Structure formats: C-alpha cells, structure tokens
Amino acid sequence: MVYNGNIKTINFLEVYIMPLVTTTHMFEKAYEGGYAIGAFNVNNMEIIQGIVEAANEQKAPLILQVSAGARKYANPTYLRKMVEAAVEESDIPICLHLDHGDSFELCKSCIENGFTSVMIDASKYAFAENIRITKEVVEYAHDHGVVVEAELGRLAGIEDAVNVSGKDAAYTDPDQVEEFVKSTGVDSLAIAIGTSHGAYKFKPGTKPQLRFDILQEVSDRIPGFPIVLHGASSVPQEFVKIINEFGGQMPDAIGVPEEMLRQAAKMAVCKINIDSDLRMACTAAIRKHLAENPSHFDPRQYLGDARTAIKGIVAHKLVDVLGCAGHAND
C-alpha cells in the first residue's frame, strides 16, 4: 500500500493462479515415468480439501473427478466453485474430470461448465454404437479444448449410477482396441482386466487376480496410449475394522492389492480411479469420533477428523501406490 500525499493507491501483487488443465501432458509424463495419476472422486468440501492438501504437500499432479451422482448431490455450481477454490490454493496441475458420463448431453453440460476432461461410458452398448456415441462426444469436446476418456469392456460392481452384475461384466477384447481408438479419436481408454466397482471386489478365500496379460496386449496394440483403471480401490482393512468395530456392517469387503496397482502404473496405466477408499476413510473417522465423543454435535469436529483421514490415505496412494509424488512439475 502506497500513500502519495492525500491520495492512497494500492499496488496489487499479481499472483499467478494455475488454471485447470487437461490430462494430455500429465499422461505423457506418467507413461514415460512409469507412474499413474490419481483420479479421486469428490462429493463435498472436506473430501476436496483432504485430497488437495495431500497432493500439494506431495507435489503430485491431480485429477479431481465428479460423478453424475456427485453433481446431483452437491449441485454442479457448488462443486465447480469448490474446485476453483482448490485451484486457487494450489500450485500443482489439477484436472477436473467427469466420471462415467452416460450421455452426450451430460458430457456437453460438463464441458460448458468448465470441466477439462470428460468420460463417456457407452460400454453397455454394442461395439459399433459405443464407437458412434464416443465419437460424437470426442468431436464436441475437442472443439472446446477438452479431452475424452472412454471405456471398452465392462466392469462389474456398484458405484453411484453404475451397476453391472457379474454375468454382464466382460474383459476388454484387445482385438477391438485399435479400431476403437482410431475410429473415435478418444484420448484415453478405460479397460476391464478384473477390477470392479465398490468395496466387494473379490470373494473371501479367493486370490485376487488381475489380467495383466490383457493390459500388456492392449499396450502392445496401441503403444504409448494412456490406459485407465476403474474400480481400483484397495479397501484398506484398517478402515473396514474401524467401521465394523463402531457399528458398521462391511463384512468381507476386499479390494485390489496395492502391489498390483503399482505394477499396473509401471506399465501402460496412466490414471487410476479411487473412490471407495475415500468413502471408507471418511466413514471410519466419523464413526470412531462419534462413538468416542458422544457429546459432540458440531459437524466441524467429526468432519475435521474425516478430512484428516482422507488426506492421509491420499498421501499414501500418491507416494506408495501411484508413484506420482514429486512429479507435479514434470
């Protein structure tokens, strides 16, 4: 602040705020470096804060992704403004991504509302129709500087509006990937190699298996192309234990072993989606806090614990699973 006689003038410090980015550069560097970018689902302020604080401290590139259910729950305007606040408070690259968009209209709405990446999931349709719908979204998105993820193959499990039974699930057919990518112009591809949505990915007593042979063949068919893993939460057993200990009911919840996710990240997988682990961290922290502090009724008390738990699990994922910590400026 400068005073000139009786006239007061203010010299504003120009602060550079990194805008939202697409995943193009992120994925190029992730592929080259043998790591993956974490795509974390967001629903409210505390979840966003926990994720972004962890990514800032770990200097990791970040994808914040929003499902159709999250948009309905939190309101698209509130979500966008919270993400804008996160960007303003950060010095890392952040992409805002639509998770499992199920129509051209939804993808178009998100693009018009500032998303820098969208997923069109037309995997429930026949191959030719999946191509047609995906291509329509790609053409509109690219005209607006937005990148597109699509899905080939179908993951089992339940998450928000996604509900695929085991009998309807299908591994990705490597013979289809070249034609699909070439015909649609898509920027990244989610494939099915044995992961699944939700917290019950494998049956008790069975050995978790992922089809790394499919992943390898896909990457051989489309070398250098970014692959995405959905349904990749590891379902930390410490959270399962806390939830069950303090009144929850999550028997037999089993996720993807983290060493398998790290192996996938060293291959062609450039984006790994994580949602259930965040939900469990949040729920475990809240259940434990309320059980141990029955007189508390201020949401800031238990939601603060939830935010801390989310920050902890995200930091762990960035460092030990994804391998993207320290790569924000690549």
Decide if pLDDT at 325 tops 50.
yes
pLDDT at 219 over 90: yes
**Chain-centre distance for alpha carbon 46:** 16
C-alpha 254 chain-centroid distance? 19
Active site residue 175: no
Percent of the chain scoring above 90 in pLDDT: 79
What are the tokens at 27? 């994925």
Sign of CA dihedral 185, 71, 75, 24: negative
Element housing 143 (H / E): helix 127-143
The per-residue DSSP string of 233-285 comes to ----HHHHHHHHHTT---TT-B---HHHHHHHHHTTEEEEEE-HHHHHHHHHH
- Phi/psi for 232 (5° steps) reads -110, 20
Q: Judging by beta carbons within 10 Å of its beta carbon (0-12, 13-18, 19+), is residue 312 exposed, middle or buried?
A: middle
Confidence at residue 156, expressed as pLDDT on a 0 to 100 scale:
55
The domain 19-322 is classified under which CATH number: 3.90.600.10, 3.40.30.10, 3.20.20.70, 3.30.420.40? 3.20.20.70
266-298 per-position pLDDT tens digit? 999 999 999 999 999 999 999 999 999 999 999
Total Cβ atoms within 10 A of residue 283 = 18
**Residue among 99, 121, 275, 305 flagged as catalytic:** 99
Residue 255's pLDDT band, with cuts at 50, 70 and 90, is confident
Local confidence band at 207 (pLDDT 50, 70, 90 cut-offs) = confident
Residue ranges of domains in the chain: 19-322
Question: Which residues, in sequence order, are bridge partners of residue 157?
Answer: 164, 197
